[in-house]
């Protein structure tokens, strides 16, 4: 399988002496939906900056679809679409002009640029706003505009640096659907996000970076499989007088209030067994959810293992 991006021994030390990246090596396969996670200041945006040539690296190499970003500048840039963390378009230009200008930067003829502009503004629900100045858009619309702009030249690799930050849940979910759709159409996607639920839901592979080093690089499935237990919150339809008794091995139960229970179920145990026990005691479960996002538990445990409090 073709490798979309290959990073080897990447180092970056800023002028102020901060070592942002310490020998980062990473590979992302073509067609992958890849999550790059890490706490603030871990080096995620620096990696993206180096790939997109906005940041000069101190050492190491970066290849996009087998071509070095140092020696094949133009070819690698044509393959790349970047949605940065911060809004970076002119606040005074009209929505369609921002997308058309970007198309022009990539050498798209005017007719094709207009077609692509219409296509992506419609897909991202911005077509009705095309003649408005970008500063009048809401935060969520601005983020979608940046995605439309990054896609106008139809890159093979799309990098999104926290694309859903500050976006309400409804819009976030529509963006997830859109990104899943373009990934299914063949676009390789690298995503950094603070919403771990987002990464868990969409990404197939994951790398966790902390203090400039990759501390985990595996498939999402494998990582989630490492959880030794899961904690659920169960809401009961009827009122509980006391803590229900559960006799299943290693399952721990805690009464939160008269209508809620916290249940810790080790891997290998079925939650159905818990439901049966509760049912015997006359408790009807009306809803169930994970106490914390599963990936969040793993993410925090990896950071703790790496020396973070």
Q: Which is nearer to other proteins, 76 or 236 (CB)?
A: 76
Among 188, 186, 159, 148, residue whose Cα is nearest residue 65 = 188
Site string for other proteins, 109-148 (x = CB under 8 A): xx--------------------------------------
Site string for other proteins, 85-114 (x = CB under 8 A): -xxxxxxxx---x---xx-xxxxxxx----
Piece of 29-37, 51-59, 170-178, 296-304 that binds other proteins (CB under 8 A): 51-59
Smallest gap from Cβ 95 to other proteins, in A, equals 14
Smallest gap from Cβ 171 to other proteins, in A, equals 23
Distance from C-alpha of 121 to C-alpha of 57, rounded to nearest angstrom: 34
Q: How many other β-carbons are positioned within 10 Å of the β-carbon of residue 66?
A: 13
Q: Which is nearer to other proteins, 82 or 206 (CB)?
A: 82
Distance from C-alpha of 36 to C-alpha of 205, rounded to nearest angstrom: 9
Helix (H, G, I), strand (E, B) or coil at 24: strand
Beta bridge partners of 24: 10
Q: Which is nearer to other proteins, 38 or 155 (CB)?
A: 155
Q: Which is nearer to other proteins, 36 or 152 (CB)?
A: 152
- Placement of tokens 């990539």 in the chain: 106
Distance from C-alpha of 288 to C-alpha of 236, rounded to nearest angstrom: 9
Distance from C-alpha of 107 to C-alpha of 116, rounded to nearest angstrom: 13
Beta bridge partners of 34: 190, 205
Residues 160-179 that bind other proteins (CB under 8 A): none
Q: Is 71 in the site for other proteins (CB under 8 A)?
A: no
Backbone angles phi, psi at 261, to 5 degrees: -130, 145
Q: Is 77 in the site for other proteins (CB under 8 A)?
A: yes
Binding site for other proteins (CB under 8 A): 14-15, 49, 52-56, 73-75, 77-78, 80, 82, 84, 86-93, 97, 101-102, 104-110, 149
């Amino acid at each position: 399988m073709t490798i979309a991006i290959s990073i080897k021994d990447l180092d970056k030390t800023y002028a102020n002496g901060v070592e942002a990246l310490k020998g980062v090596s990473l590979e992302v396969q073509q067609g992958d939906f890849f999550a790059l996670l890490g706490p603030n200041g871990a080096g995620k945006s620096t990696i993206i900056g180096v790939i997109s040539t906005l940041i000069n690296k101190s050492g190491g190499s970066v290849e996009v679809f087998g071509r070095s970003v140092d020696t094949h500048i133009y070819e690698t840039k044509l393959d790349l679409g970047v949605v940065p963390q911060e809004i970076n378009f002119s606040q005074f230009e009209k929505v369609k002009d921002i997308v058309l200008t970007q198309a022009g930067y990539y050498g798209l003829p005017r007719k094709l640029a207009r077609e692509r502009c219409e296509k992506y503004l419609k897909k991202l629900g911005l077509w009705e706003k095309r003649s408005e100045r970008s500063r009048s858009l809401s935060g969520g619309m601005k983020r979608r505009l940046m995605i439309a702009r990054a896609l106008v030249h139809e890159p093979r690799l799309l990098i999104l640096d926290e694309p859903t930050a500050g976006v309400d849940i409804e819009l976030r979910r529509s963006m997830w659907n859109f990104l899943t759709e373009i990934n299914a159409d063949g676009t390789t996607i690298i995503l950094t996000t603070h919403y771990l639920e987002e990464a868990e839901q969409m990404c197939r592979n994951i790398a966790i970076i902390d203090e400039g080093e990759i501390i985990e690089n595996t498939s999402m499935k494998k990582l989630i499989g490492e959880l030794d237990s899961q904690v659920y919150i169960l809401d009961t339809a009827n009122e509980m007088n006391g803590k229900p008794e559960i006799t299943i091995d290693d399952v721990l139960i805690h009464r939160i209030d008269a209508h809620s229970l916290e249940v810790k179920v080790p891997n290998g145990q079925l939650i159905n067994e818990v439901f049966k026990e509760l049912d015997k005691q006359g408790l009807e479960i009306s809803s169930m959810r994970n106490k914390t996002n599963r990936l969040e538990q793993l993410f925090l445990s990896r950071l703790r293992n790496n020396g973070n409090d």
